Amino acid sequence: MKSQKIFPGMILIGFGLYFYLESSNIPLFREFYSWPTLLIIVGLAFLGQGYKGRDYEAILPGTILVGFGLHFHIVNKLTIWPDHIGTFILVISLGFLLRYQKTGAGLFQGFLFLSLSIFLLFYEHVMKWMGVIEGNFSIAFEFWPILFILLGVYLLLRKKSKK
């Protein structure tokens, strides 16, 4: 039986610590008094529910919230950290892969998002590399989002095969 007390307990402890430290105005933690910290707290509560409470479906939202919160904290502090949509898709991919580790479901989605994030993060490098083969191929490559749309429609409309 899944324990339902972990998530609210962690939320109360996390928010309590956050508001206590904010009201104490401790200079060491000043940069953490922001909404990304609240995302991390809620995400950690989901991850606690997922792993400790054995509610493995909570791993995906937990990973996404912690990942997005960390991204917003780090993006303006580390110059090597990419401020790119591919970063968000990479975090979502990590969530699916971590959930797959416990449930056995979501491997396809995890690798799909991982592939998309790698493509988006390194798009400019790929385009420079493909510059060697420019010409008619570059015009066709402008329409790559349509390929995603068609693949998505296929996945929605295909019928499951009966075994």
What is the rounded average pLDDT of the residues 52-78? 93
Its pTM stands at 0.79
Task: State the pLDDT confidence band at 141, using cuts at 50, 70 and 90.
Answer: low
- Amino acid 140: pLDDT: 59
* Sequence spans of domains, the chain: 6-121, 126-158
Q: Is the Cβ–Cβ distance between 45 and 10 less than 8 Å?
A: yes
Q: Residue 8 and residue 52: Cα distance in Å, rounded?
A: 13
What percentage of the chain has pLDDT greater than the value 70?
Answer: 86
Interatomic CA distance for residues 87 and 125, integer angstroms: 16
